[in-house]
Amino acid sequence: MHNDNGDTAMLEVRNLVKEFGGLRAVDGVSFKLTRGNITGLVGPNGAGKSTLFNTIAGFHRPTSGSIEFLGRAIGGLPPHQIFKHGLVRTFQIPRPFAAMTVLENTMLVPTDQSGEYFWNNWFRRSAVRAEERACRERAREILTFVGLEKLSGEFASNLSGGQQKLLELARVLMSDPSLILLDEPGAGVNPTLLVTIMDKLQELNQRGITFLIIEHNMDLIMRLCNPVLVMANGRLILEAPPDVVRKDPQVLEAYLGGVPA
């Protein structure tokens, strides 16, 4: 799909609204994501960033507006269908299965395995075993990529906050996505691990994955993201390169809540 600028728009959101009772958490948001970009999404607490992600990824039904992914209308589809089209998201607060190991958590992500079906279990046991082997191998490769290979036998509940963020990343990579929405990948992560995460994201981007990243850490935004979208009170107030966003008076005011400095 090509937009007027000749860029390839991968995701196009038009006039998106999400209300909770009387609260308009997302209030008429429109934007396009260009394939190959790492786009940032910033804004004060409660601006509606996570709600926007949840609505795009199918966890909330839009109140109104449209969402197109790769030219296909996905607004209102359930998360598993959106996921199958190659759009995945991570959660602001990671939700691994605590009583399962890191490897098991990673292998849980559906990759259209035939083992789920009764008939296959009965009649195609060897094929199922081969698929499980392939899934395990893929999970191990991905855990090595994110640097969790040594912890693959550990219970997910024993991981630190930053390691859980890496497990979230590993899990979304299992499905071979083309667009990943990351909700605060840097939150609760120490500076050394943050550098590792940024390097991994850059490498994945070079391998062709497009990203939309919510983040409060300005170092991450400045280093990785262009353009940056700014949300305040449910609305998009600016789309600009990161150095412009950082100095924009409207953005400063949104963060300070209009209080004079």
Ligand X SMILES: Nc1ncnc2c1ncn2[C@@H]1O[C@H](COP(=O)(O)OP(=O)(O)OP(=O)(O)O)[C@@H](O)[C@H]1O
Which residues of this protein are in contact with Mg ion, per CB under 5 A? 50, 92
Q: Which of Mg ion, ligand X, none does residue 46 bind (CB under 5 to 8 Å by kind)?
A: ligand X
Residue nearest to Mg ion (CB): 50
Shortest distance in whole angstroms from residue 112 CB to ligand X? 30
| SS3 state of residue 210 | strand
C-alpha 41/C-alpha 61 separation (Å) is 21
Nearer to Mg ion, 187 or 240 (CB): 187
C-alpha 16/C-alpha 137 separation (Å) is 40
Per the structure block, which two tokens stand in for 162? Answer: 């930053």
User: Which residues are CB-neighbours of 19 under 8 A, at least 6 positions away?
Assistant: 25, 63
Shortest distance in whole angstroms from residue 92 CB to ligand X? 6
Ordered DSSP codes for 3-44: -TTS-BEEEEEEEEEEEETTEEEEEEEEEEEETT-EEEEE--
Bridge partners (DSSP) listed for residue 240 = 228
Nearer to ligand X, 153 or 161 (CB): 161
DSSP state of 93: S
Shortest distance in whole angstroms from residue 12 CB to ligand X? 20
Per the structure block, which two tokens stand in for 89? Answer: 């998201």
Residues 145-184 that bind ligand X (CB under 6 A): none
Residue 74 binds ligand X, judged by CB under 6 A: no
Q: Which of Mg ion, ligand X, none does residue 20 bind (CB under 5 to 8 Å by kind)?
A: ligand X
**Residue 13 near residue 61 (C-beta atoms within 8 A):** no
Q: Which of ligand X, Mg ion, none does residue 153 bind (CB under 5 to 8 Å by kind)?
A: none
Q: Which of ligand X, Mg ion, none does residue 130 bind (CB under 5 to 8 Å by kind)?
A: none
Residues 33-72 that bind ligand X (CB under 6 A): 43, 45-51
Size of the site for ligand X (CB under 6 A): 12
The phi and psi torsions of 64 (rounded to 5 degrees) equal -160, 170
Q: Which of Mg ion, ligand X, none does residue 43 bind (CB under 5 to 8 Å by kind)?
A: ligand X
C-alpha 105/C-alpha 124 separation (Å) is 25
Residues 2-31 that bind ligand X (CB under 6 A): 20, 23, 25
Q: Which residues bind ligand X (CB under 6 A)?
A: 20, 23, 25, 43, 45-51, 92
